[in-house]
Amino acid sequence: MTSPGRHGGVDAERLGKLITPDPETIHDYLEIRGLRVAFDGFVAVKDIDLTVTRGDLRFLIGPNGAGKTTVIDAITGLVPATGSAAFGRKELLGKPVHRIARLGVGRTFQTASVIEELDVLSNLDLAAGASRPAVSRLRARRGVPASVEEALEAIGLADERFRSAGALAHGQKQWLEIGMLLVQGARLLLLDEPVAGMSHSEREQTADLLRAISPHRVVVVVEHDMEFLRAVADSVTVLAAGEVLAQGTVAEIQNDPRVQEIYLGTPVHEGGR
Protein backbone atom coordinates (compact mmCIF):
# COMPACT_ATOMS: atom_id res chain seq x y z
CA MET A 1 0.00 0.00 0.00
CA THR A 2 1.63 3.20 -1.09
CA SER A 3 -1.15 5.73 -0.91
CA PRO A 4 -2.21 7.96 1.99
CA GLY A 5 -5.27 6.39 3.57
CA ARG A 6 -5.63 2.66 3.88
CA HIS A 7 -7.94 2.42 0.88
CA GLY A 8 -6.13 4.94 -1.28
CA GLY A 9 -6.50 8.70 -1.02
CA VAL A 10 -6.50 10.58 2.23
CA ASP A 11 -8.40 9.03 5.08
CA ALA A 12 -10.18 12.28 5.85
CA GLU A 13 -11.96 11.05 8.98
CA ARG A 14 -8.75 9.88 10.65
CA LEU A 15 -6.81 12.87 9.43
CA GLY A 16 -9.56 15.11 10.76
CA LYS A 17 -9.26 13.50 14.19
CA LEU A 18 -5.51 13.85 14.17
CA ILE A 19 -5.55 17.50 13.35
CA THR A 20 -8.79 18.66 14.88
CA PRO A 21 -8.27 22.37 15.43
CA ASP A 22 -7.43 23.41 18.94
CA PRO A 23 -9.65 26.40 19.87
CA GLU A 24 -6.51 28.05 21.25
CA THR A 25 -4.95 28.04 17.81
CA ILE A 26 -7.93 29.09 15.77
CA HIS A 27 -6.35 32.43 14.96
CA ASP A 28 -2.95 31.02 14.00
CA TYR A 29 -1.19 32.92 11.28
CA LEU A 30 2.32 33.56 10.04
CA GLU A 31 3.25 37.20 9.83
CA ILE A 32 6.55 38.21 8.28
CA ARG A 33 7.60 41.85 8.15
CA GLY A 34 10.79 43.28 6.70
CA LEU A 35 12.56 39.91 6.65
CA ARG A 36 16.13 40.26 5.53
CA VAL A 37 18.87 37.63 5.24
CA ALA A 38 22.43 38.39 4.20
CA PHE A 39 25.28 35.96 3.58
CA ASP A 40 28.66 37.70 3.81
CA GLY A 41 27.25 40.90 2.37
CA PHE A 42 25.11 39.18 -0.29
CA VAL A 43 21.47 39.95 0.48
CA ALA A 44 19.50 36.78 -0.37
CA VAL A 45 16.19 37.99 1.12
CA LYS A 46 15.35 41.69 0.93
CA ASP A 47 12.76 43.10 3.30
CA ILE A 48 10.02 40.60 2.58
CA ASP A 49 6.48 40.98 3.95
CA LEU A 50 4.26 37.91 3.97
CA THR A 51 1.08 36.96 5.83
CA VAL A 52 -0.35 33.45 5.67
CA THR A 53 -3.49 32.39 7.52
CA ARG A 54 -4.95 28.98 8.24
CA GLY A 55 -6.89 27.49 5.36
CA ASP A 56 -5.03 29.62 2.80
CA LEU A 57 -2.66 27.06 1.32
CA ARG A 58 0.17 29.27 0.18
CA PHE A 59 2.71 28.40 -2.48
CA LEU A 60 6.04 30.19 -2.60
CA ILE A 61 7.48 30.08 -6.10
CA GLY A 62 10.26 31.77 -8.04
CA PRO A 63 13.31 30.98 -10.12
CA ASN A 64 16.33 29.16 -8.71
CA GLY A 65 18.12 31.30 -6.18
CA ALA A 66 15.09 33.56 -5.56
CA GLY A 67 15.41 33.05 -1.80
CA LYS A 68 12.51 30.63 -1.16
CA THR A 69 14.42 28.12 0.95
CA THR A 70 16.26 30.93 2.71
CA VAL A 71 12.91 32.36 3.87
CA ILE A 72 12.04 28.98 5.40
CA ASP A 73 15.54 28.67 6.89
CA ALA A 74 15.11 32.09 8.51
CA ILE A 75 11.68 31.27 9.97
CA THR A 76 12.97 28.01 11.43
CA GLY A 77 16.15 29.51 12.90
CA LEU A 78 18.65 27.90 10.56
CA VAL A 79 20.02 31.20 9.28
CA PRO A 80 20.21 34.53 11.09
CA ALA A 81 17.77 37.16 9.85
CA THR A 82 16.54 40.62 10.73
CA GLY A 83 13.03 42.03 10.67
CA SER A 84 10.21 40.01 12.13
CA ALA A 85 8.64 36.57 11.64
CA ALA A 86 5.88 35.86 14.12
CA PHE A 87 3.65 32.83 14.55
CA GLY A 88 0.86 32.64 17.10
CA ARG A 89 1.86 36.21 17.95
CA LYS A 90 5.28 34.96 19.13
CA GLU A 91 8.44 36.28 17.51
CA LEU A 92 10.53 33.50 15.97
CA LEU A 93 13.62 35.39 14.85
CA GLY A 94 16.51 35.16 17.27
CA LYS A 95 15.22 31.99 18.92
CA PRO A 96 17.11 28.70 18.70
CA VAL A 97 15.79 25.98 16.36
CA HIS A 98 14.33 23.77 19.13
CA ARG A 99 12.38 26.65 20.70
CA ILE A 100 10.92 27.59 17.33
CA ALA A 101 9.83 23.96 16.90
CA ARG A 102 8.19 24.06 20.34
CA LEU A 103 6.19 27.08 19.24
CA GLY A 104 4.53 24.81 16.67
CA VAL A 105 6.69 25.50 13.64
CA GLY A 106 7.67 22.44 11.60
CA ARG A 107 9.38 22.00 8.27
CA THR A 108 10.37 19.40 5.74
CA PHE A 109 13.49 19.51 3.61
CA GLN A 110 14.01 18.96 -0.12
CA THR A 111 15.55 15.64 0.82
CA ALA A 112 13.46 13.73 3.34
CA SER A 113 15.05 13.82 6.78
CA VAL A 114 13.48 10.71 8.30
CA ILE A 115 15.78 8.45 10.31
CA GLU A 116 16.37 5.75 7.72
CA GLU A 117 17.59 3.08 10.15
CA LEU A 118 14.46 3.29 12.31
CA ASP A 119 11.12 1.88 11.29
CA VAL A 120 8.13 4.05 10.41
CA LEU A 121 6.53 3.70 13.84
CA SER A 122 9.71 4.70 15.67
CA ASN A 123 10.11 7.76 13.48
CA LEU A 124 6.58 8.86 14.37
CA ASP A 125 7.10 7.91 18.02
CA LEU A 126 10.20 10.06 18.24
CA ALA A 127 8.43 12.96 16.59
CA ALA A 128 5.55 12.60 19.05
CA GLY A 129 8.04 13.09 21.84
CA ALA A 130 7.76 9.46 22.91
CA SER A 131 11.50 9.01 22.65
CA ARG A 132 12.45 5.80 24.42
CA PRO A 133 15.59 3.71 24.64
CA ALA A 134 15.81 1.12 21.85
CA VAL A 135 15.32 -1.78 24.29
CA SER A 136 11.93 -0.55 25.39
CA ARG A 137 10.65 0.24 21.93
CA LEU A 138 9.22 -3.22 21.33
CA ARG A 139 7.29 -3.02 24.57
CA ALA A 140 6.21 0.50 23.71
CA ARG A 141 4.67 -0.70 20.45
CA ARG A 142 1.94 -2.47 22.38
CA GLY A 143 0.77 0.94 23.45
CA VAL A 144 1.09 3.09 20.36
CA PRO A 145 -0.18 6.60 21.17
CA ALA A 146 -3.51 7.37 19.49
CA SER A 147 -2.03 10.33 17.64
CA VAL A 148 0.66 8.09 16.13
CA GLU A 149 -1.89 5.45 15.11
CA GLU A 150 -4.06 8.13 13.50
CA ALA A 151 -1.05 9.55 11.67
CA LEU A 152 -0.10 6.10 10.35
CA GLU A 153 -3.56 5.70 8.88
CA ALA A 154 -3.81 9.23 7.56
CA ILE A 155 -0.51 9.07 5.67
CA GLY A 156 -1.28 5.57 4.40
CA LEU A 157 1.60 3.83 6.15
CA ALA A 158 -0.32 1.72 8.67
CA ASP A 159 0.74 -1.46 6.92
CA GLU A 160 4.35 -0.31 6.74
CA ARG A 161 4.77 0.51 10.41
CA PHE A 162 7.60 -1.96 11.03
CA ARG A 163 9.37 -1.25 7.78
CA SER A 164 12.58 0.74 8.09
CA ALA A 165 12.07 4.27 6.83
CA GLY A 166 15.07 3.88 4.54
CA ALA A 167 13.21 1.15 2.61
CA LEU A 168 10.17 3.32 1.87
CA ALA A 169 9.39 4.67 -1.58
CA HIS A 170 10.27 8.31 -2.15
CA GLY A 171 6.68 9.51 -1.80
CA GLN A 172 6.13 7.49 1.35
CA LYS A 173 9.15 9.15 2.99
CA GLN A 174 7.70 12.57 2.31
CA TRP A 175 4.32 11.49 3.74
CA LEU A 176 6.11 10.10 6.79
CA GLU A 177 7.79 13.47 7.27
CA ILE A 178 4.46 15.25 7.06
CA GLY A 179 3.00 12.74 9.53
CA MET A 180 5.92 13.47 11.87
CA LEU A 181 5.15 17.18 11.75
CA LEU A 182 1.51 16.50 12.60
CA VAL A 183 2.21 14.23 15.58
CA GLN A 184 4.78 16.66 16.94
CA GLY A 185 1.98 19.20 17.00
CA ALA A 186 3.24 21.53 14.28
CA ARG A 187 0.65 24.21 13.56
CA LEU A 188 2.71 25.92 10.89
CA LEU A 189 3.96 23.50 8.23
CA LEU A 190 6.71 24.71 5.91
CA LEU A 191 7.20 22.18 3.12
CA ASP A 192 10.22 22.50 0.84
CA GLU A 193 9.53 20.93 -2.58
CA PRO A 194 7.39 18.10 -1.21
CA VAL A 195 6.64 16.52 -4.60
CA ALA A 196 10.12 16.74 -6.15
CA GLY A 197 10.92 13.33 -7.62
CA MET A 198 7.42 11.96 -7.02
CA SER A 199 5.42 9.98 -9.56
CA HIS A 200 2.18 11.43 -10.95
CA SER A 201 0.11 9.25 -8.66
CA GLU A 202 2.20 10.18 -5.59
CA ARG A 203 1.71 13.86 -6.46
CA GLU A 204 -2.05 13.44 -6.63
CA GLN A 205 -2.08 11.71 -3.26
CA THR A 206 0.12 14.39 -1.75
CA ALA A 207 -2.32 16.98 -3.11
CA ASP A 208 -5.16 15.18 -1.27
CA LEU A 209 -3.09 15.07 1.92
CA LEU A 210 -2.28 18.80 1.83
CA ARG A 211 -5.86 19.76 1.01
CA ALA A 212 -7.04 17.77 4.03
CA ILE A 213 -4.46 19.39 6.33
CA SER A 214 -4.86 22.98 5.13
CA PRO A 215 -8.16 23.87 6.85
CA HIS A 216 -6.58 23.00 10.20
CA ARG A 217 -3.02 24.22 9.85
CA VAL A 218 -1.07 27.11 8.36
CA VAL A 219 0.71 25.61 5.35
CA VAL A 220 3.42 27.13 3.15
CA VAL A 221 4.75 25.09 0.24
CA VAL A 222 7.89 25.91 -1.73
CA GLU A 223 7.47 24.24 -5.09
CA HIS A 224 8.53 24.41 -8.73
CA ASP A 225 5.88 22.04 -10.01
CA MET A 226 3.21 24.20 -11.64
CA GLU A 227 0.73 21.39 -12.21
CA PHE A 228 0.87 20.56 -8.53
CA LEU A 229 0.51 24.24 -7.66
CA ARG A 230 -2.62 24.56 -9.80
CA ALA A 231 -4.10 21.49 -8.15
CA VAL A 232 -3.46 22.57 -4.58
CA ALA A 233 -2.65 26.25 -4.04
CA ASP A 234 -5.15 28.73 -2.67
CA SER A 235 -2.72 31.59 -3.13
CA VAL A 236 0.76 32.18 -4.46
CA THR A 237 3.66 34.45 -3.55
CA VAL A 238 6.30 34.88 -6.23
CA LEU A 239 9.84 35.69 -5.15
CA ALA A 240 12.52 36.96 -7.49
CA ALA A 241 16.02 38.00 -6.46
CA GLY A 242 15.02 37.97 -2.80
CA GLU A 243 11.97 40.19 -3.19
CA VAL A 244 8.23 39.63 -3.44
CA LEU A 245 7.44 40.17 -7.12
CA ALA A 246 3.75 39.29 -7.04
CA GLN A 247 1.09 37.78 -4.86
CA GLY A 248 -2.42 36.53 -5.57
CA THR A 249 -4.57 33.66 -6.69
CA VAL A 250 -3.22 31.05 -9.09
CA ALA A 251 -5.08 32.73 -11.97
CA GLU A 252 -3.76 36.19 -11.07
CA ILE A 253 -0.20 34.90 -10.88
CA GLN A 254 -0.43 32.99 -14.16
CA ASN A 255 -1.67 36.09 -15.95
CA ASP A 256 0.84 38.49 -14.42
CA PRO A 257 3.24 39.68 -17.14
CA ARG A 258 6.00 40.34 -14.57
CA VAL A 259 5.78 36.74 -13.44
CA GLN A 260 5.81 35.46 -17.01
CA GLU A 261 8.88 37.57 -17.69
CA ILE A 262 10.95 36.14 -14.85
CA TYR A 263 10.05 32.68 -16.07
CA LEU A 264 12.06 33.61 -19.18
CA GLY A 265 9.07 34.52 -21.28
CA THR A 266 7.37 31.19 -20.66
CA PRO A 267 3.77 31.56 -19.59
CA VAL A 268 3.63 30.13 -16.09
CA HIS A 269 0.84 27.74 -17.00
CA GLU A 270 3.08 26.05 -19.54
CA GLY A 271 6.50 26.22 -17.96
CA GLY A 272 7.93 24.21 -15.11
CA ARG A 273 10.38 26.61 -13.48
Q: How is residue 122 annotated by DSSP?
A: H
**Alpha-helical regions (H) of the chain:** 12-18, 68-75, 97-102, 120-127, 134-141, 146-154, 170-183, 200-213, 226-232, 250-254, 257-262
Question: Which residues, at least 6 apart from 206, have a Cβ–Cβ distance to it below 8 Å?
Answer: 4, 171, 174, 175, 194, 195, 198, 228
Assess 77 for contact with ligand ATP (CB under 6 A). Answer: no
Reference 69, options 220, 183, 208; nearest CA is: 220
Q: Which is nearer to ligand ATP, 52 or 66 (CB)?
A: 66
In the chain, the amino acid numbered 200 is H
Assess 67 for contact with ligand ATP (CB under 6 A). Answer: yes
Assess 88 for contact with ligand ATP (CB under 6 A). Answer: no
CB-based contact 160:168 (threshold 8 Å): yes
Q: What sign results for the dihedral spanned by CA atoms 168, 169, 172, 173?
A: positive
- How far apart are CB 271 and ligand ATP at their closest, in Å? 14
Assess 76 for contact with ligand ATP (CB under 6 A). Answer: no
Angle, nearest 10°, between helix axes 146-154 and 170-183?
A: 150
Assess 190 for contact with ligand ATP (CB under 6 A). Answer: no
Assess 68 for contact with ligand ATP (CB under 6 A). Answer: yes
Assess 194 for contact with ligand ATP (CB under 6 A). Answer: no
Among 18, 30, 44, 195, binds ligand ATP (CB under 6 A): 44
Assess 5 for contact with ligand ATP (CB under 6 A). Answer: no
Assess 66 for contact with ligand ATP (CB under 6 A). Answer: yes
Q: Which is nearer to ligand ATP, 209 or 262 (CB)?
A: 262
Assess 107 for contact with ligand ATP (CB under 6 A). Answer: no
- How far apart are CB 207 and ligand ATP at their closest, in Å? 20
Assess 245 for contact with ligand ATP (CB under 6 A). Answer: no
Judged by the rule CB under 6 A, the positions of this chain that interact with ligand ATP are 39, 44, 62, 64-70
